[in-house]
Amino acid sequence: MRRAIFPGSFDPITLGHYDIILRGVKLFDEVVVAIGINSDKSYMFSLEERKQFIEEAFKDEPKVKVVTYEGLTIDFSKEIDAQFILRGLRNPADFEFEKAIAHTNRKLSRIETVFLLTSARTSFISSSIVRDVIRNHGDYTVLVPDSVKLK
């Protein structure tokens, strides 16, 4: 089975993430969306909310699993027998950052990182932009899947 892990904080999941996951299921037998837990970071949405947003968005896609994890992504990848790390690239800055992580992961393990370019229609969206729109009472719904709802 060709299993890829798509790690991130997903605070919240965006249409860019959604697009990468949908395209990833065409390449892999299973895409594990792995929500990383970082106790040093403060989040707008709780871990449970973030997980629920993603599960609801992919409720009809059996090839997508949603889990949470702590620690190094490569260690968790070994635990779940994922052979690939799936990452999306929006711009050259993303590439430089992700390239360094991919090289480090390859040095520490045998896992391959697969990069997908975001679609032109979602390349400007980031979770931090979505959070800023929400904080300023803007229409965030055009940037996220329908499953992302504020309480």
Tens of pLDDT, residues 110-151: 999 999 999 999 999 999 999 999 999 999 999 999 999 887
C-alpha–C-alpha distance, residues 65 and 62, integer Å = 7
**CATH of residue 58:** 3.40.50.620
> Does any domain span residue 50?
yes
Instruction: Note the pLDDT of residue 139.
Output: 97
pLDDT grade for 11, boundaries at 50, 70 and 90: very high
Instruction: Note the pLDDT of residue 38.
Output: 84
Closest by Cα among 126, 136, 36 to 88: 126
Tens of pLDDT, residues 60-114: 999 999 999 999 999 999 999 999 999 999 999 999 999 999 999 999 999 999 9
- Does residue 137 come out as left (phi exceeding 0), alpha (psi in the -120 to 50 range) or beta? left
Q: Return the active site residues.
A: 17, 41, 90, 127
Instruction: Note the pLDDT of residue 41.
Output: 85
> Does any domain span residue 66?
yes
pLDDT grade for 40, boundaries at 50, 70 and 90: confident
pLDDT grade for 39, boundaries at 50, 70 and 90: confident
> Does any domain span residue 149?
no
Higher pLDDT, 94 or 4: 4
Task: Measure Cα distances from 104 to 99, 107, 141 in Å.
Answer: 9, 5, 36
> Does any domain span residue 132?
yes
Task: Measure Cα distances from 115 to 4, 12, 89, 124 in Å.
Answer: 11, 21, 7, 17
**In total, how many domains does the chain have?**
1
Q: Which helix (H) or strand (E) holds 76?
A: helix 73-79
Is the pLDDT assigned to residue 48 strictly greater than 90? yes
CB contact at 8 A, 18 and 88: no
Domain of 45, in residue numbers:
3-142
Instruction: Note the pLDDT of residue 65.
Output: 98
> Does any domain span residue 23?
yes
Instruction: Note the pLDDT of residue 6.
Output: 98
